[in-house]
Amino acid sequence: MNIKQIGHAIVHLDKSNEDYLIPLPRVKVSGLITGTPYPELTGSYEIISSTGYLSEVDFSGKKLLGMSGEKNHVHAAVFGPNDSKRKNPIYEVEGAWNQKFVFKDVVNKRNLEVFDTNAQTPAPLKVAPTQEQDPWESRRAWAGVIDALEHGDMQRTSDAKSKIEQAQREWRKKEEAEGRPWQPKFFVRSRTDEIFERLASASSAGQHSDDAAYGFWKFDTQKAARAQRPFHGDAKPDVA
């Protein structure tokens, strides 16, 4: 199963006033035939910094039929602002993105750090208990799907997922017939984004062409501050 993610993230560092354009990698779900599914990130990407530094990241996974390749493998290289041809990496990262990977100082030919993902403590999620959430908040809206997945019930998973999807199709039909577009509570759509355009222009891969074509959804702090539960009155995401 191949999943193509369209979009990107822009990370801003207040301390150093830097921006980073980060793509969303493609995902391949492997192991479906054997009943032990796991995700593999695939493809090559660029992380572009407003400082002029650029990172090339390549994800590759274990090959089929026992061929060579490391599961969940990642290799990344960081290039300086003056290395337009990207021939001389300053730093490299290599290993398994979900286990251990090594940071390397290429210039001085030494390892800097081994990062073990399993030794890290995940940051706690700051969300309300599911029963206190609005029906449209993700964990409550998809509670039936999540419960079915946790119990390994694929038929119930499919049924719960289809119920939400079909209801949303009906919502879109009603809105179109009434000339009443859906009003997002937290996001606003824009056709342009100055930071994106500035950083994407440094890309040699053209990996953000779809992003510009579809437009940009931005989190609107003012709209979020005004939003109150219930976000959509008595409406439910799985009932048209």
19-64 pLDDT, tens per residue? Answer: 999 999 999 988 777 777 888 899 999 999 999 999 999 998 654 4
> Between 233 and 69, whose confidence is greater?
233
**DSSP alpha helices (H): ranges in the chain?**
138-141, 143-150, 154-178, 194-200, 209-214, 221-226
**Domain residue extents for the chain:** 2-119, 130-226
Using CA atoms of 94, 29, 128, 133 in order, give the dihedral in degrees to the nearest 10: 150
54-93 pLDDT, tens per residue? Answer: 999 999 865 444 445 578 899 999 999 999 889 999 999 9
Q: Which one of 26-40, 100-114, 115-129 scores highest in mean pLDDT?
A: 100-114
Domain 2-119 sits in CATH at: 2.40.160.120
Full-model pTM: 0.78
Domain 130-226 sits in CATH at: 3.30.70.3490
**Strand pairing class (18-23; 54-60):** unpaired
169-203 pLDDT, tens per residue? Answer: 999 999 999 999 888 999 998 888 899 989 988 88
Rounded-to-integer distance, Cα 144 and Cα 80, Å: 48
